[in-house]
């Protein structure tokens, strides 16, 4: 019996789990996939928005404004890559400059600090690669970039270190309630006093298992290009295009690992698992992006991918205890700016749970600090020496694009929320993220996973449980 069970281990679920681990209660974090951060958290623009965009009297506006300033402390505590590099909304005509002025005004209403409208001449000094048609830009210095799955893995790891139980590979099939909730999963029944729905694009389906249907979530797909690291960055800050009647435009930004991200478009699909890319959409993105940056180095593309947005029919985040089902909380429809709002949402929801108790005791053992797996190549030569002396496996480079050592991979596997798949290792310590996309290190990573987890290498999967890699041994006799 748990006090609280959370369905969905994305950035929202993991964030709430960590906030609740500050208290002396039993918390379960339930996830249907074999790792955390496998849904909308896995593929998005990785931006912490300044917060001028959302309307002030909405949940989106409120939580974005609250969430943004929380990232410095949070990322320091959890040792997660985060850079406040600022963002520009670019205007391509005098008409669009008016939109910038409206956004500027809305930003003031949302109490967004430090904004300014920058004219082309000054803009080019800061961002020399901008296109010929750019007239001006609205600068917001508090916007930042983050590693979304690094954040989520860190949140989950810290939550587990502080007592939360993570139940991976548990798919919720149904929910019953009498005194308590009975969450029926493929791995058995989980009983809990309170239940929090953070199921991303599936939050409506979870809601409907126990409550009256009150909203719908549609999966809106966005596609992206990822470019290789380059000596000279394409852009130094996040570059939005001015929103028009035709849509929000395409953005170009550096990632925390110095790659360049270009995208996304936006298209609704019925299949909530559909993350395939389409060449027409990608060409569209490329065409649009060329307005922002001239001579876009498309020969540096290392991959393209698609992510989903959980778009609610209510148009705003749904964060509430469901009226007809006391003790059941929806945290649903967390589309953009969901990542930016996540820390504020986590605190707010933890407070909702806390209010259920007369006197909720704190977890005296709570430790907010979590250290990332050391990134060997960014250490000083002395630190490198010391780490190799401690564990010689830090002396062996496995991934030669990102310079990742065997020591880092081994540690990512043995962490509390450890990697069990090739992509799980990749999300934690990045082998395979680089230009060879795992061509050299993939087999080696499989070997290390097999050895460290004491599993037959034939059972090591790429990502989700059915993504098997090896089909058998050579020279097998065929029956």
Partner 1 sequence: MKHYELVVIGGGPAGLAAAIEAKKNGIEDILVIERDKELGGILQQCIHNGFGLQMFKEELTGPEYAERYIVELGKMNIPYKIDTMVVDITADKEISYMSVAEGFVTISATAIVLAMGCRERTRGAVSISGTRPSGVYNAGMAQLLINTEGFNVGKKVIILGSGDIGLIMARRLTLEGAEVVGVLSRGGYAAGLARNVVQCLDDFNIPLMLNRTIIKINGKDRVESVVLVDMDENKQPIPGSEETVECDTVLFSVGLIPENELSEKADIHLDRKTKGPLVDDTMATDVDGIFACGNVVHVHDIVDFVSFESEKAGKNAAKYIQGIRGKSRSHVKTKAGNGIGYIVPQEIQLVHDEKIVELFTRVRHVDTDVKFVVKLGDKVIREIKKNHVTPSEMEKIVIAASALELSNEILTVEVTKEGV
Residue from 102, 276, 287, 351 that binds partner 1 (CB under 8 A)? 276
Per DSSP, which regions of 47-159 are E strands?
Answer: 47-48, 82-83, 87-91, 116-119, 136-140, 144-146
d(CA 242, CA 474): 56
Footprint (CB under 8 A) of partner 1, residues 84-103: none
Among 34-42, 64-72, 301-309, 315-323, which window interacts with partner 1 (CB under 8 A)?
301-309
Q: Examine residue 168 and tell whether it contacts partner 1 (CB under 8 A).
A: no
Of 24, 364, 371, which Cα lies nearest the Cα of 164? 24
Instruction: Decide whether 31 or 161 has the Cβ nearer to partner 1.
Output: 31
Stretch that binds partner 1, among 90-98, 141-149, 253-261, 394-402 (CB under 8 A): 394-402
Residue 301 contacts partner 1 per CB under 8 A = yes
CB 458, min distance to partner 1, A: 7
Let me know if 247 is exposed, middle or buried by CB neighbors in 10 A (0-12, 13-18, 19+).
exposed
In angstroms, give the least distance from the CB of 72 to partner 1.
32
User: Mapped to the 3 state alphabet, what secondary structure does 405-431 carry?
Assistant: EHHHHHHHHHCCCCCCCHHHHHHHHCC
At residue 336's C-alpha, the angle toward residues 332 and 341, to 5°, is 75
Find the part of the chain contacting partner 1 (CB under 8 A) among 125-133, 255-263, 357-365, 456-464. 456-464
Q: Are strands 87-91 and 238-241 parallel, antiparallel or unpaired?
A: parallel
Burial class from Cβ neighbours inside 10 Å (0-12, 13-18, 19+) for residue 73 reads exposed
Q: Is residue 39 within the footprint of partner 1 (CB under 8 A)?
A: no
Asked if residue 268 binds partner 1 (CB under 8 A), the reply is: no
Say whether residue 302 binds partner 1 (CB under 8 A). yes
464 binds partner 1 (CB under 8 A): yes
- Of the candidates 185, 197, 304, 412, which one interacts with partner 1 according to CB under 8 A? 304
Please say which residue, 15 or 438, places its beta carbon nearer to partner 1: 438
Return the bridge partners of 275, or none: none
- Asked whether the beta carbons of 88 and 235 are under 8 A apart, the reply is no
Host H or E run for residue 166? strand 165-167
Query: Under a CB-based contact definition with an 8 Å cutoff, are residues 339 and 11 in contact?
Result: yes
Q: Which stretch binds partner 1 (CB under 8 A): 21-29, 32-40, 352-360, 431-439?
A: 431-439
* Of 91-99, 179-187, 236-244, 271-279: span binding partner 1 (CB under 8 A): 271-279
Cα-based distances in Å from 462 to 44, 195, 443: 20, 31, 11
Report the distance separating Cα 141 and Cα 135, nearest Å: 19
One residue of 26, 303, 314, 363 binding partner 1 per CB under 8 A: 303
In the complex, the smallest distance separating the C-beta of residue 265 from partner 1, rounded to whole angstroms, is 13
Check binding of 56 to partner 1 (CB under 8 A).
Answer: no
- Beta carbon nearer to partner 1, 97 or 469: 469
Number of residues engaging partner 1 in binding (CB under 8 A): 57
Query: In the bound complex, what is the minimum distance in angstroms from residue 226's beta carbon to partner 1?
Result: 8
Neighbours of 236 (CB within 10 A): 15
400 binds partner 1 (CB under 8 A): yes
What is the residue whose two structure tokens read 């954040």? 151
Q: How far is the CB of 406 from partner 1 (least distance, A)?
A: 8
- Please identify which residue in 269, 305, 357, 366 interacts with partner 1, judged by CB under 8 A: 305
Closest to 102 in 3D by CA, of 244, 305, 233: 244
Which of 216, 233, 435, 452 lies at the binding interface for partner 1 (CB under 8 A)? 435
HSE on the CB side for 196, CA within 13 Å?
32
Say whether 49 is catalytic. yes
Q: What are the start-end ranges of the E strands in 31-108?
A: 47-48, 82-83, 87-91
Chain residues 359-388 in contact with partner 1, contact rule CB under 8 A: 377, 381, 384-385, 388
For the CB of residue 285, give the shortest distance to partner 1 in the complex, in Å.
Answer: 12
Place of tokens 């748990």: 2
Instruction: Choose the binding region for partner 1 from 57-65, 153-161, 200-208, 433-441 (rule: CB under 8 A).
Output: 433-441
Cα separation, 394 vs 386, whole angstroms: 10
CB of 144 to partner 1, least distance (A): 26
Q: How far is the CB of 454 from partner 1 (least distance, A)?
A: 18
Task: Find the helix packing angle between 148-161 and 71-78, rounded to 10°.
Answer: 60
Instruction: Give the x/- contact pattern for partner 1 in 212-251, rule: CB under 8 A.
Output: --------------x----x--------------------
User: With the CA atoms of 439, 442, 447 and 448 taken in that order, what torsion angle do they form, in degrees rounded to the nearest 10?
Assistant: 130
> Contact positions toward partner 1, by CB under 8 A?
226, 231, 273, 275-279, 281-282, 301-305, 377, 381, 384-385, 388-389, 392-393, 395-397, 400, 403, 405, 435-440, 442-443, 447, 457-458, 461-476, 478
Query: Which positions are catalytic?
Result: 49
């Amino acid at each position: 019996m748990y006090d609280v069970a959370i369905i969905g281990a994305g950035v929202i679920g993991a964030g709430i789990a960590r906030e609740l681990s500050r208290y002396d209660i039993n918390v379960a974090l339930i996830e249907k996939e074999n790792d955390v951060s496998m849904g909308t958290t896995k593929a998005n623009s990785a931006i912490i928005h300044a917060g001028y965009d959302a309307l002030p009297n909405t949940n989106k506006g409120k939580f974005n404004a609250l969430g943004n300033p929380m990232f410095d402390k949070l990322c320091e505590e959890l040792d997660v890559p985060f850079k406040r590099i600022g963002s520009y909304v670019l205007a391509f005509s005098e008409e669009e400059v008016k939109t910038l002025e409206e956004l500027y005004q809305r930003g003031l209403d949302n109490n967004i600090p430090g904004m300014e409208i920058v004219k082309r001449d000054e803009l080019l000094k800061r961002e020399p690669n901008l296109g010929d048609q750019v007239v001006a830009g609205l600068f917001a210095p508090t916007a930042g970039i983050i590693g979304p799955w690094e954040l989520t893995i860190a949140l989950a790891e810290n939550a587990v270190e502080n007592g939360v139980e993570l139940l991976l590979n548990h798919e919720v099939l149904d929910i019953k309630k009498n005194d308590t909730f009975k969450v029926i999963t493929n791995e058995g029944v989980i009983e809990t006093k309170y239940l929090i729905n953070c199921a991303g694009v599936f939050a409506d389906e979870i809601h409907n298992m126990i409550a009256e249907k009150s909203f719908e979530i549609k999966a809106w797909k966005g596609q992206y290009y990822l470019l290789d690291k380059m000596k000279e960055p394409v852009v130094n800050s996040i570059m939005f295009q001015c929103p028009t009647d035709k849509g929000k435009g395409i953005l170009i930004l550096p990632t925390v690992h110095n790659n360049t991200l270009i995208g996304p478009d936006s298209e609704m699909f019925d299949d909530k698992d559909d993350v395939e890319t389409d060449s027409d959409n990608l060409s569209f993105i490329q065409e649009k992006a060329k307005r922002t940056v001239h001579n876009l180095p498309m020969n540096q593309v290392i991959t393209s991918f698609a992510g989903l947005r959980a778009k609610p029919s209510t148009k705003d985040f749904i964060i509430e205890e469901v009226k007809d089902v006391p003790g059941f909380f929806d945290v649903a429809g967390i589309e953009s700016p969901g990542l930016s709002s996540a820390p504020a949402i986590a605190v707010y929801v933890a407070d909702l749970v806390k209010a259920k108790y007369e006197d909720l005791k704190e977890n005296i053992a709570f430790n907010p600090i979590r250290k990332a797996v050391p990134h060997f190549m960014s250490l000083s030569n002395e630190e490198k020496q010391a780490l190799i002396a401690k564990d010689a496996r830090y002396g062996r480079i496995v991934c030669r694009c990102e310079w990742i050592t065997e020591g880092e991979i081994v540690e990512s596997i043995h962490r509390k929320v450890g990697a069990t798949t090739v992509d799980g290792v990749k999300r934690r310590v990045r082998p395979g993220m680089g230009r060879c996309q795992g061509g050299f290190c993939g087999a080696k990573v499989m070997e290390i996973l097999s050895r460290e987890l004491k599993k037959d290498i034939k059972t090591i999967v790429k990502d989700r449980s059915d993504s098997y890699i090896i089909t058998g041994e050579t020279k097998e006799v065929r029956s």
